[in-house]
Amino acid sequence: MMSDAKFAIGADIGGTHITAALIDLHNKTIIPASVKRATVNAGGTADEIIRSWVECINAARQSNSIESICLAMPGPFDYEAGISLMREQAKYESLYQLNIKEKLAKELKVPVQAVFMENDAACFLQGEVYSGVACKYADNTVIGITLGTGLGSAVYKAGTSVNADMWQHPFRDGIAEDYLCTRWFVRRWKELTGQTVSGVKEIKQMPLSSTEAKVVFNEFAVTFAEFLLEFIAKESPDVIVIGGNIAKASDWFGPMLTSIIGAKHPSIRIEQAILGEEASLSGAVSSWLHKQKSSLTTT
């Protein structure tokens, strides 16, 4: 690689994985050969989890000098301080109240200031607006939803995406995430069939004639639409971008969802994310760059 090139690391921290890559800061593109993925035991010890992250980041970094390590991290999390606030989410319990920035900086041998963290849903939406399915809507208001082991949400306005924190929005008999994540599908499938599945992928692979699969995804579509209508009332978006692993089953629930939302808000576009993990990688670096520019203009 060219010696005068400048790079940052973009990393996406998922509930069961990490993906990391070098990002060319001149054109904000991912270096394809640098992309590395690894599984992570989210129920492991803090040292095990940190080690998994560090090994993947170092594999992506190789021997290149970098300006920053930018992580798209699930919440709840104190992103500025770098302290994990995740608990009772069946992931990363051992990281609770630990300063992850300091631990990563020590293991990666970089200054603490070189480690940047932002909400994963905000990074996902930032990436999709700048180089993905929502790139035509950079001047609009866009809301983003990630559906997976948890519920992520973000709002894009005026060039930047922020975490909307809608996972804990009061909803039905609990909070929104109780109904819009993998564990709801696992629980509901068990109730309907008596069978245990590990995730949505197994249900998605059922035959199209499966009555139980239709019931589960139809229920999810109605629930998701109810949630989105509340989110729409709050933010008045022009576009909704949906991503995450559950979105890969959109053939099952997408048509009903679009129909319900379209009946009340025909002008709002619903788009499925197209960048996959790359959205969070480039979005994390884009968020860091945006913050760097903002700090320069205020000093």
Q: What is the pLDDT of residues 27-77, one digit of tens each?
A: 878 999 999 999 999 999 999 999 999 999 999 999 899 999 999 998 889
pLDDT of residue 297: 62
Q: Once rounded to an integer, what is the mean pLDDT over residues 170-180? A: 97
Is the predicted pLDDT of residue 2 greater than 50, yes or no? Answer: no
Q: Once rounded to an integer, what is the mean pLDDT over residues 284-294? A: 86
Q: Furthest-apart CA pair in the chain: how many Å?
A: 62
Is the predicted pLDDT of residue 299 greater than 60, yes or no? Answer: no
Nearest alpha carbon to residue 152 among 246, 90, 33, 244:
244
Q: For the chain, where do the domains classified as CATH 3.30.420.40 start and end?
A: 7-119, 133-272
Higher pLDDT pick, 104 / 16: 104
Nearest alpha carbon to residue 240 among 253, 251, 225:
225
When pLDDT is cut at 50, 70 and 90, the band that residue 3 belongs to is: very low
Phi, psi of 180 (to 5 degrees): -130, 50
Q: What is the DSSP letter of 99?
A: B
Is the predicted pLDDT of residue 159 greater than 90, yes or no? Answer: no
Q: Please tell me the pTM assigned to this model.
A: 0.84
Q: What is the DSSP letter of 132?
A: S
Is the predicted pLDDT of residue 26 greater than 90, yes or no? Answer: no
When pLDDT is cut at 50, 70 and 90, the band that residue 296 belongs to is: low
Say whether domain 133-272 belongs to CATH 3.30.420.40: yes
Q: Which residues of 166-202 are buried (b: 16+ CB within 10 A; e: fewer)?
A: bbebebeeeebbbbbbbebbbebbeeebeeebebbee
Q: Once rounded to an integer, what is the mean pLDDT over residues 277-297? A: 84
Is the predicted pLDDT of residue 95 greater than 80, yes or no? Answer: yes
Q: Once rounded to an integer, what is the mean pLDDT over residues 249-255? A: 96
CA distance 299 to 20: 32
CA distance 11 to 74: 12
92: tokens are 């990363």
Nearest alpha carbon to residue 232 among 273, 270, 259:
270
Beta strands, E only, the chain: 7-13, 17-24, 29-30, 36-39, 69-73, 77-78, 83-84, 115-119, 142-147, 151-157, 160-163, 170-171, 174-175, 239-243, 269-272
What CATH number is given for 7-119 in this structure?
Answer: 3.30.420.40
Assign 82 to helix, strand or coil. coil
166: tokens are 């809608």
Say if residue 76 is preceded by a cis peptide, omega within 30 of 0: yes
| Kind of pairing between the strands at 170-171 and 174-175 | antiparallel
- Give the HSE-up count for residue 199: Cα atoms under 13 Å, Cβ half-sphere: 13
When pLDDT is cut at 50, 70 and 90, the band that residue 298 belongs to is: low
Is the predicted pLDDT of residue 91 greater than 90, yes or no? Answer: no
Is the predicted pLDDT of residue 118 greater than 80, yes or no? Answer: yes
Burial class of residue 235 in the structure, from the number of CB atoms within 10 Å of its CB (0-12 exposed, 13-18 middle, 19+ buried)? middle
Q: Once rounded to an integer, what is the mean pLDDT over residues 261-265? A: 98
Q: Once rounded to an integer, what is the mean pLDDT over residues 190-210? A: 95
159 Cβ contact list (under 8 Å, min separation 6): 138, 290
**Residue 262 parent element (H or E):** helix 250-264
4 Cβ contact list (under 8 Å, min separation 6): none
| Contact indicator for 277, 12 with CB cutoff of 8 Å | yes
Q: Once rounded to an integer, what is the mean pLDDT over residues 154-182? A: 94
pLDDT of residue 77: 92
Mean pLDDT of the chain: 93
**Would you tell me the crossing angle of helices 120-131 and 277-297 to the nearest 10 degrees?**
90
Task: Report the percent of the chain where pLDDT is more than 90.
Answer: 83
